[in-house]
Structure 1
Amino acid sequence: MADDTVEARAICASDALPEGGKGVRFALRPEADEEKGFAVRFDGAVCAFVNRCPHLGTELDWQPGEFFEEAGLYLVCSTHGALFEPASGFCVSGPCHGATLDPIRVEERNGQVFILSDAS
């Protein structure tokens, strides 16, 4: 639950994230559109990461919001096919094997998904 030292910003409705389906892209900071994050639902939980592959820094999705590979078990980098565990962002296969996507703290409440950041 958010407290006075944490800011929460809604990024989407909970039902916009189907299990193992299309994800939602969002700006990490509303005033600066250059760095993107994404959220997906896997194993019932919302997981969010910076949309940047640790290998070359390219965005993961091959089409906007398409982050999962065909079976819906792993996140996949569209550039080199690296596979990441959706819950942890850990790369299990590909050129960045052993690296991890940068996580983003999220909270789901009242039918909404929020990203959380420390208040400055």
Structure 2
Amino acid sequence: MAGSERLICASDAVLEGGDGVRFPIETAWGDRTGFVVRYRGQVRAYVNRCAHVPVELDWQPGKFFDDSGLYLICATHGALYDPAGGYCLAGPCRGGRLPQLEVVERDGNVFLIEQGE
């Protein structure tokens, strides 16, 4: 069954290498937050849950990128993730991956694609 769309935010709220936007989601682990960031011109979204320890990545709401703006970073233990695919590049979860969420950007907005049953 096709998924439905849920508005996350306006496109201009997600700047290249800038703060991400958090939003509520339901997962196999219960109610969590997801986040959307912009990297190389595209919006990318993930479950806000480190691949090493089940904690949220951001040290302050929306602070997902490291100082360079090139990698997502877990504030708890410094794991670095590739924003393009969510793969852990360095740190204790090396080889792990952030759970990816499907999003679409259209008409000046970013939408989460919620999978149907």
- In the other structure, the counterpart of 1:90 is 87
Per-residue deviation at 1:119? 2.1
Per-residue deviation at 1:103? 0.1
- In the other structure, the counterpart of 1:58 is 55
Opposite residue 70 of structure 1, the aligned amino acid is D
Identity of aligned residues (%): 53
CA distance in 2, matches of 1:40, 1:51: 12
| Structure 1 outlier segments of 4+, above 2 Å | none
- In the other structure, the counterpart of 1:114 is 111
Q: Would you say 1:42 and 2:39 are equivalent positions?
A: yes
CA distance in 2, matches of 1:47, 1:87: 7
CA distance in 1, matches of 2:109, 2:116: 20
- In the other structure, the counterpart of 1:14 is 11
Structure 2-normalised TM-score?
A: 0.94
Per-residue deviation at 1:117? 1.8
Q: Would you say 1:81 and 2:69 are equivalent positions?
A: no
- Structure 1: where are the runs of 5+ without partners? none
- Of 8, 22, 25, the residue aligned with 1:25 is 22
SS in 2 for 1:107: strand
CA-based RMSD of the aligned residues comes to 1.3
CA distance in 2, matches of 1:6, 1:59: 26
Per-residue deviation at 1:6? 1.7
Structure 1-normalised TM-score?
A: 0.91
- Structure 2: where are the runs of 5+ without partners? none
Opposite residue 106 of structure 1, the aligned amino acid is V
